[in-house]
Structure 1
Amino acid sequence: MVVWNVELTSRKAQYHWTYMFAPPRFAAFITWMQGWITVFAWQATATSVVYLTATQIQGLIILNHASYVPQRWHGTLLMWAVVAVLFSVNVWAVRLLPLLEMVGGACHVVFFIILLVTLVTLAPHSSAESVFTDFVNGGGWSSDGVSWCIGLLMVVYCFVGFDGTLHLAEEIKDSARTVPRVIILTIVINGILAFAFLIALLFCIGDISEVLSTATGYPIIAIFEVATGSKAAATAMECGLIIIAFASGFALLASVSRLTFAFARDGGMPFSAFFAFVDPHYHVPTRSISLVSIVIVLLSLINIGSSIALNAILSLSTLALYISYLIPITLLVLKRLRREKVTFGPFSLGRFGLWINLYALVFGIFIVIFLPFPVATPVNATTMNYAGPVFLGLVLLALVDWVVRGRHYYAGPTREENVGLEQTNDEPDVAMRDEHTKQG
């Protein structure tokens, strides 16, 4: 699912590729739907990261102040504070973004070592037999296999968004070569670190039911406290994760705003001319950054009335992103099966490309089937997974906008031009655009 992304580079990523691979007759419509799905999926993802960062902070307050009575509006205010920090850096301190990302990456590795050593050294250990052979079906499903498949939801969420770097491609020097390396190294390094940390957690988790019922809302905080026997130590360890979450948030807001800018530049969004704007002083798409930030703030208000309603929107992120990946993969597989010419960048999968694409397609379909399933039974307002209904609502909204606006003037992605952001070498995309124009 990840590797096929690196054959192509463009700020618009799967949105751009869909146009290049789709039959010319239907390219504009399919790309329009793809653009809506991708933009809203990334908006939901950005909101979910802000929500998780803010509520982790709230969880530490719960841990350290027994008299504190958590309220949902407290979490909303914390979300606003997180958004304010992310917005400020992306607009007024954007030159610091590479440094902050470098520091965040260093903290990612350093905190991994610190947390891993602390857990392995101090926490009571479960037996290897219980770690590798015990199966806990906490969802109430009659089939352990179904329960396992549904449990992939959180695993998939952790690795979703690997196309984020692609949305910044036009601002990266020699993006056609740099971006593939970044994507592959990110997945390989994080996959290894995550697996090692997961095994350590399983050995140190202790009583699962007790950990899951923690008042903080985050089992990881309870695990840290049990391991160290100290609230202060648990707080320090959790702060390391929050720092990494902020570093992720900086890059995420930058990526989502560039995707929003690109879709607006192509006329895909309402008020596109307004949002397709690059500030001449800061050289960043300030209006797109503002739009993404404002939407997060507005969505956070839902949390005041109902956390279930907010989770219904946040659940859109993983499902919609995987569907956005499946659209161009399907079109690419069809082109390869028909032996039609496809222009790639410097990185190519060669003769293994079709098989890797087919595997990604099958895996993506498998994931999309189970993502809308409720996490637990019996299904009620709390356990219901609203990803499916919310996604269908998004598709309906996109269809209505296509009938009202899109079909009259939308022609697909524009050719990548210098629009105020730093222009980089992106020849593969230009070649693909020319090829598609000839076919049309």
Structure 2
Amino acid sequence: MGTCLTGSLVGAAYLLALLFAIPDIPSFVETNSSKNSSINFAVATYRLAVPHRGALVLTILLILNIYFAGISGMTVTSRIGFAMARDGVFPLSSYLRWIFPRTKSPLATIALVMTMDFLLLLLQLVSTTAFSAIISIATLGFQLSYVLPIIFRCTVARKTFPIGDFNLGRYAVPIAVLSVVWLIITSVFMFFPAKYPVTSDNMNYTVAVIAGIALIAATYWIFSARHWFKGPKRYHHDSNLFQTFSLATVHGEKIIFLS
């Protein structure tokens, strides 16, 4: 809670400082557009607001922030991939859910995520439009990952969802409804093109990518996964149990162990 509040305040202050540093936004955007300049908007703002060395320091901080954000993103994605492989969602899940005994890290999914990242970066050499279309769904993907659990929590799982130590009590549903409305409205704007007139180069292909992913996922679920997928499995964190899956019963509940 504290980190979220701190991040919100610091982020708001940072954005306000950037906006106040730009005296004329239309001319600034035109001067630093991709046609007239290759400098990133944030870097251009730093150079406009502070002396050269100050702009250099801020740029270095920005690069470090992006680097650590990438590490964090890879960590999260690899763990999500491991969880899905643990539940048998992917083809070759038995290999992808392998845990390296020494570090107890899912090295297989880490290697998979790293390889996919490399391939996506190489895609820029072939088509910047295709690369932009893929990365354009990043924020929208986060939004969808937020809104779907909230909707299911307040509908089909409203009476069965276990309440944790921290909860909003009677305000949970109203806040959830507001969150869903906000996420849906902001998500709609992400389908709009960034520039007019719309051409094949500046077209926002987010809708096509999202529709394609949804079609593949729906087809996979209807014809295959719904017949065998049983939901998230649990495993024991004992350091001696980290190679293959085995089934046991603890206090009347079936538990999946990594052994």
Note the 1:264-413 alignment, pairs <5 A.
Answer: 264-335=85-156, 340-403=159-222, 405-413=224-232
In the TM superposition, residue 229 of structure 1 has moved relative to its aligned partner by: 4.5
Q: Deviations over 1:192-219 (max 9, x none)?
A: 1121122222221134232445623411
Q: Which moved more, 1:278-287 or 1:321-330?
A: 321-330
TM-score normalised to structure 1 length: 0.50
Question: How far apart, in 2, do the equivalents of 1:224 and 1:366 lie?
Answer: 32
Matching of residues 235-274 of structure 1 within 5 Å: 235-274=56-95
* Distance in 2 separating the partners of 1:352 and 1:292: 38
Name the CA distance, whole Å, in 2 between partners of 1:272 and 1:212. 45
Q: CA distance change for structure 1 residues 320 and 247 in 2, over 3 Å: closer, same or farther? A: closer
1:23-422 alignment runs, 5 A limit: 184-207=1-24, 208=28, 209-212=30-33, 215-230=37-52, 232-335=53-156, 340-403=159-222, 405-418=224-237
Indicate how the Cα distance of structure 1 residues 359 and 372 shifts in structure 2: closer, same or farther if over 3 A, else same: same
Aligned CA RMSD, in angstroms, stands at 2.5
Task: Please give the per-residue CA displacement for 1:236-278, whole angstroms capped at 9, x wherever unaligned.
Answer: 3201111122222222211111110000000111211110111
Structure 1 partner of 2:250: none
Unaligned runs of 5+ in 1: 1-183, 423-433, 435-440
Q: Would the alpha carbon gap of residues 309 and 235 (structure 1) be closer, same or farther in structure 2, given more than 3 Å must change?
A: same
| Residue identity in the other structure for 2:128 | S
Which shifted more, 323-332 or 251-260? 323-332
Distance in 2 separating the partners of 1:257 and 1:404: 26
- Contact kept, 8 Å, 1:283 with 1:421, in 2: the verdict is no
Normalised to the residue count of structure 2, the TM-score between the two structures is: 0.83
Residue identity in the other structure for 1:187: C
- Quickly say closer, same or farther: Cα 1:421–1:285, change in 2 above 3 A: farther
* Runs of 4+ residues over 6 Å off in structure 1: none
Distance 1:371 1:390 in 2: 13
Structure 1 residues 420 and 270: alpha-carbon distance in aligned structure 2, compared to 1, 3 A threshold: farther
Shift of 1:356: 0.6
Higher relative contact order (CA 8 A, sep 6+): 1
| Residue pair 1:278, 1:419 contacting (<8 A) in 2 also | no
How many residues align structurally?
238
After superposition, the Cα gap between the structure-2 partners of 1:368 and 1:227, relative to the gap in structure 1 and judged at 3 Å, is: closer
Please tell me whether the aligned partners of residues 284 and 421 of structure 1 are also in contact (alpha carbons under 8 angstroms). no
Q: CA deviation at 1:312?
A: 0.4
Corresponding residue number in structure 2 for 1:105: none
The structure-2 alpha-carbon separation of the partners of 1:340 and 1:405, relative to structure 1 and needing over 3 Å to count, comes to closer
1:342 CA drift (Å): 3.0
> SS of the residue aligned with 1:249?
helix
Point out the structure with the larger helix share: 1
Secondary structure class of the residue paired with 1:244:
helix
8 Å CA contact 1:372–1:387 kept in 2: the answer is: yes
Change (3 A) 1:269 1:349: same
* Structure 2 unaligned residues grouped into runs of 5+: 242-252, 254-259
When residues 420 and 324 of structure 1 are mapped into structure 2, their CA distance, relative to the original with a 3 A threshold, is farther
Contact 1:373-1:385 within 8 A present in 2 as well: yes
Distance 2:192 2:219 in 1: 27
Closer, same or farther: CA 409–334 of 1 in aligned 2, 3 Å: closer
What amino acid sits opposite 1:206 in the alignment? P
Q: How much does 1:404 deviate?
A: 5.4
Distance 1:351 1:421 in 2: 43
Kept in 2: contact 1:211–1:223 (CA 8 A): no
